[in-house]
């Protein structure tokens, strides 16, 4: 029986669940996998933990953990890129396998850490960093890597999906949906990284790395949060047969590769359109497989800990995957060139000639209007919404159109733009 | 670089796709996985193949293939349990790893073959046997096995799903939907094994083996085909908010374990209800993960071949999984005890008192009627449908009720019964 000694750093929600899971499943690991996993050391700045079953040592100085000679694997469930980064480097330098749920760390420091792990022939596991309990990292790595990924589409941020689902399905406002997410623990007290798209674009970069076998520089990934979406846009979407979802997209056209993370209109019968609330989903289209989709809980203590356990089983079974090997130089194209149909919502003073002025500017850009919705006004001199669905056009062209439209005296700024992704 | 010599037996649709895939991806396998996969021998009773790129030997006598000393892995893409079974045994006895897409072989002979593979320390790969290109076998084995599976629900037979989707979404009759499936190649000229549930229940037994880590005897799995479903039932389903799907179910209540494969009413907003046409899906609910779902193409040459390739990569990487280890003795309960709400459709002579007679028999069994739908008759003396939704009741009780109802002079036999699965 293979015996591995593990140390855990970080004892928040995920860390506590992990302690419970690893202690409860010790016998099962031994009988099913022939691996004896011993949690012998916990790094906790507080110096104490709630779990009374743990019989090992608690170390207040986190950075001393990887120096312990008895430890084979260091597990990092702290988050952020400060102490976690130091911990990762120290662990690998000291010959410890490293397992993390930290998307920011992998997205920002992955290349350097994979190189270090490769040199030392150590495993750097990050299954828990994307999609919580959904085994998407190993699926992309083991299951799909033998054939070229054409595109992936995902809902990777549960908070954003929860808020937009509440708005769409229960007609809530953005503010009340966010409040409900916070009350249920699906959103942090400070939800900035969820709703401004930071969390989703870090995860997008990790999926892109595995999908396209290349080094992904974060600044090449287009990013937009969900915080500008209004109930009005949801309603127009319903009318058009589309749902707004927090989309993560990587698409390889062969000559061009685009990666982005932004709210998008998805046709109502598509897989992603029907994945609601805090659930995550990843749909992958590849050369020989066509589309496969994976959905499940994208966060939470036990789902995330299950993914950490799976990395530990890999290590116990002697599987060291060399991710450094996949870090090929690849070209990611500027999102300015990305072409897709667009939804524009303009708030205009309803005076004669306004539609003509708008249409003229659109025609000058050689863009086609697929649909124009103007509701009857309720009273005179009102500001009313006009929705325009443009056929396929690039970011560059639509952005210059929006600038010109916003100069029209009858049009209020800013104009709302949402991409249709089919 | 690890070099492995493989032999393929079976050159039908999947076999031909596999030959193409393995020859096209040789370089990629070498650079990405450090494995040199050589297809050097093909067993084909015809003695010839279409692919002109293949430069190895063609052997007409299939059973001579595993005797070839150069071969490391034998791949079986023939189907059935006659020659395939002999081939499997011969391959393992002669020290060859064995990879197959054959669900019948694994469902019926798995236990014996896993034991043989275990003794010889060889890998028996069957990723392609369930869900075509969906990596569900490795996901259950590697990703979920560290936590207890509560239940799985799947749509595992693409032909059945295609037919029921056509009936539901396009109002086709069973016969025209089957014909369209045959024309598009989604159903065999003889579709018996698809529509009578044989294919699905073999796959169900394989998923049950991995989900519940036990030896699954096929005769303990309840089986029912889709061939008794009528358009009328689809229409009533729509009215009630349910879709009929070809369901495979394994459910572990702790004390009781039920496994079955049968058409069922699924609530219209559930994951499975929205997976249509030839697509397969497996939803797994486990202790620490809650629900995760996996969907994709359940058949087809390239998807199935991709799964075969993934087994080859495992072998190339030296991963030998001992499935024999998972063959624990487990108790599968008789489906007679399975409790769920039921839909009964009775065709009755619309005479006074018929509903009272029916209700009386139901009351005598202490069963509750959740819903009763009786449409107004169009002309007198007509045979009309009465639909009754019963609250939760066991197979045993509902079957004895049906027998008694069928004895009523005003009720035509047989009565349609469909289970609701939530």
Mean pLDDT of chain B: 93
Residue B389 confidence (pLDDT) above 80: yes
User: Is beta strand B339-349 parallel, antiparallel or unpaired with respect to B411-420?
Assistant: antiparallel
Q: What tens digit of pLDDT does each residue of B111-143 get?
A: 999 999 999 999 999 999 999 999 999 888 876
> Is B15 within 8 Å of chain A by CB?
no
Phi and psi angles of residue B99, each rounded to the nearest 5 degrees, phi first: -125, 135
Q: What is the CATH number of domain B2-129?
A: 3.40.50.720
CA distance B254 to A170: 36
Length of chain A: 422
Q: What is the pLDDT of residue A144?
A: 57
Of residues A348 and B189, more confidently modeled: A348
> Is A133 within 8 Å of chain B by CB?
yes
Residue B342 confidence (pLDDT) above 70: yes
> Is B320 within 8 Å of chain A by CB?
no
User: Is beta strand A73-76 parallel, antiparallel or unpaired with respect to A57-59?
Assistant: unpaired
Q: What is the pLDDT of residue A145?
A: 55
Q: What is the pLDDT of residue A379?
A: 67
B251: region left, alpha or beta (phi > 0 left; psi from -120 to 50 alpha): beta
CATH superfamily of the domain spanning A338-420: ACT domain (3.30.70.260)
- Per-residue pLDDT band for B173 (boundaries 50, 70, 90) equals very high
Do the chains contact at B289 and A297, CB–CB below 8 Å?
Answer: yes
Q: What is the pLDDT of residue B144?
A: 57
Q: pTM for this one?
A: 0.90
The fold adopted by the segment(s) B136-296 is: Dihydrodipicolinate Reductase; domain 2 (3.30.360)
Q: In chain B, pLDDT over 70 holds for what percent of residues?
A: 98
Residue B245 confidence (pLDDT) above 80: yes
**Facing A303 at nearest CB: one of B213, B288, B313:** B288
Q: What is the pLDDT of residue B290?
A: 85
CATH 3.30.70.260 domain position(s) in chain A: 338-420
CATH 3.30.70.260 domain position(s) in chain B: 339-420
The fold adopted by the segment(s) B339-420 is: Alpha-Beta Plaits (3.30.70)
* Contact in structure between A98 and A88 (CB atoms under 8 Å): yes
CATH 3.30.360.10 domain position(s) in chain A: 136-297
Over range B72-81, report the average pLDDT. 97
Q: What tens digit of pLDDT does each residue of B266-302 get?
A: 998 889 999 999 999 999 999 888 899 999 998 899 9
CATH 3.30.360.10 domain position(s) in chain B: 136-296
Residues of A with a catalytic annotation lie at 203
Over range B371-387, report the average pLDDT. 83
Strands of the A35-43 sheet, one edge to the other: A57-59, A35-43, A2-9, A73-76, A97-100, A124-125
Which 3-state string (H, E, C) describes B102-160?
CHHHHHHHHHHHHHHHHHHCCCEECHHHCCCCCCHHHHHHHHHCCCCEEEEEEECCHHH
Percent of chain B as helix, strand, coil, to the nearest 5: 40, 30, 30
* Contact in structure between A408 and A252 (CB atoms under 8 Å): no
CA distance A139 to B140: 12
- Per-residue pLDDT band for B404 (boundaries 50, 70, 90) equals very high
CATH 3.40.50.720 domain position(s) in chain B: 2-129
Of residues A249 and B28, more confidently modeled: A249
The fold adopted by the segment(s) A136-297 is: Dihydrodipicolinate Reductase; domain 2 (3.30.360)
CA distance B360 to B420: 23
Do the chains contact at A144 and B135, CB–CB below 8 Å?
Answer: yes
* Contact in structure between B28 and B22 (CB atoms under 8 Å): no
Per DSSP, the three-state class of A80 is coil
Percent of chain A as helix, strand, coil, to the nearest 5: 40, 30, 30
Per DSSP, the three-state class of A246 is strand
User: Is beta strand B124-125 parallel, antiparallel or unpaired with respect to B97-100?
Assistant: parallel
For residue B302, the chain A residues in CB contact (below 8 A) are: 288-289
> Is A294 within 8 Å of chain B by CB?
yes
Over range B197-218, report the average pLDDT. 95
CA distance A111 to A324: 7
Residue B161 confidence (pLDDT) above 80: yes
Do the chains contact at B297 and A313, CB–CB below 8 Å?
Answer: no
- Per-residue pLDDT band for B6 (boundaries 50, 70, 90) equals very high
> pLDDT by residue for chain A (422 residues), tens digit each?
889 999 999 999 999 999 999 999 898 888 777 899 999 999 999 999 999 999 999 999 999 999 999 999 999 999 999 999 999 999 999 999 999 999 999 999 999 999 999 999 999 999 999 999 999 998 888 765 567 899 999 999 999 999 999 999 999 999 999 999 999 888 888 999 999 999 999 999 999 999 999 999 999 999 999 999 999 999 999 999 999 999 999 999 989 999 999 999 999 888 999 999 999 999 999 988 889 999 999 889 999 999 999 999 989 988 888 999 889 999 999 999 999 999 999 999 988 889 999 999 999 999 999 999 998 766 666 899 999 999 999 999 999 999 999 999 999 999 999 999 98
Distances (CA, A) of A208 to A201, A251, A282: 10, 9, 12
Tell which A residues from 46 to 105 touch B, by Cβ distance under 8 Å: none
Query: For chain A, what is the total number of helices (H) and then of strands (E)?
Result: 13, 16
Q: What is the pLDDT of residue B59?
A: 97
Over range B89-118, report the average pLDDT. 98
């Amino acid at each position: 029986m293979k015996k591995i000694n593990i140390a855990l750093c970080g004892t928040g929600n995920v860390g506590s669940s992990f302690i419970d899971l690893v202690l409860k499943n010790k016998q099962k690991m031994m009988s099913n996998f022939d691996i004896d996993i011993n949690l012998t050391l916990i790094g906790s700045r507080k110096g104490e933990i709630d779990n009374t079953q743990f019989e090992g040592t608690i170390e207040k100085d986190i950075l001393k953990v990887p120096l312990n000679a008895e430890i084979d694997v260091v597990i990092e469930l702290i988050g952020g890129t400060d102490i976690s980064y130091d911990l990762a480097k120290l662990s690998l330098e000291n010959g410890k396998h490293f397992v993390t749920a930290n998307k920011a760390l992998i997205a920002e420091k992955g290349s350097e850490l994979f190189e270090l792990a490769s040199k030392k022939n150590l495993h750097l596991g990050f299954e828990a960093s994307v999609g919580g309990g959904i085994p998407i990292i190993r699926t992309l790595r083991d299951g799909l890597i033998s054939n070229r990924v054409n595109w992936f589409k995902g809902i990777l941020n549960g908070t954003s999906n929860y808020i937009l689902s509440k708005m769409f399905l229960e007609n809530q406002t953005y503010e009340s949906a966010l409040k409900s997410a916070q009350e249920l623990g699906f959103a942090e007290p400070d939800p900035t990284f969820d709703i401004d798209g930071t969390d989703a674009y870090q995860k997008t970069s990790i999926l892109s790395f595995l999908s396209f076998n290349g080094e992904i520089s974060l600044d090449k990934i287009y990013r937009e949060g969900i915080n500008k979406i209004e109930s009005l846009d949801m309603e127009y979407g319903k009318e058009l047969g589309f749902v707004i979802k927090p989309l993560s997209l990587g698409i390889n056209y062969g000559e061009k590769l685009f990666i982005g993370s932004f709210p998008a209109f998805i046709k109502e019968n598509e897989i992603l359109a029907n994945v609601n609330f805090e659930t995550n989903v990843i749909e992958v289209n590849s050369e020989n497989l066509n589309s496969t989709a994976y959905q499940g809980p994208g966060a939470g203590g036990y789902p995330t800990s299950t993914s950490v356990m799976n990395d530990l089983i890999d290590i116990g079974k002697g599987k060291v995957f060399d991710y450094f090997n996949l870090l090929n130089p690849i070209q990611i194209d500027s999102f300015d060139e990305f072409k897709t149909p667009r939804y524009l919502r303009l708030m205009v003073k309803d005076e004669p000639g306004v539609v003509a002025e708008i249409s003229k500017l659109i025609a000058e850009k050689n863009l086609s209007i697929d649909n124009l919705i103007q509701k009857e006004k309720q009273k005179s001199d009102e500001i009313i919404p006009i929705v325009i669905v443009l056929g396929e056009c690039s970011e560059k062209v639509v952005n210059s159109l929006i600038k010109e439209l916003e100069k029209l005296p009858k049009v209020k700024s800013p104009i709302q733009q949402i991409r249709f992704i089919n």
